Chain A
Amino acid sequence: MSTAKPTTLNVAAGERHHAHHYDNAEHEYQSSKQGVWLFLCTEILMFGGLFVAYAIFHQMFPETFKVGSKFTDVKYGAVNTVVLLFSSLTMALGIYYVQVREQKKAVIAMAVTILCGFGFMAIKYLEYSHKIHLGLLPGDWYNGNLQAMAAELGGLTVPANIGLYFSFYFMMTGLHGIHVLIGMGAIGWVMVRTMKGQFGPGYYTPVEGVGLFWHLVDLVWIYLFPLLYLV
Chain B
Amino acid sequence: MEKLLEVENLTKIFTLGSVLSRVKITAVDNISFFIRPAEIFALAGESGCGKSTTARIIMGFERATSGTIIHNGRREGKNEKVWFTEGIQAIFQDPFATFNPLRTVERYFFETIQNYRLATSKQEAIERIDAKLRLVGLTYDDLAGKYPSEFSGGQLQRISIARALLTDPKLIIADEPVSMVDASLRMSIVNLFKRLRDDFGVSVLYITHDLATAYYVCDRIAIMFRGKIVEMGTVEQVLMAPKHPYTQLLRASIPEADPARRWQGMIRLSDIEQDEYLRQGCRFAGRCPHVMDVCRRVTPPQFDVDGAQVACHLYAEMPRSDEVLIASQGQ
| A and B bind | no
Interface residues of A (CB under 8 A from B): none
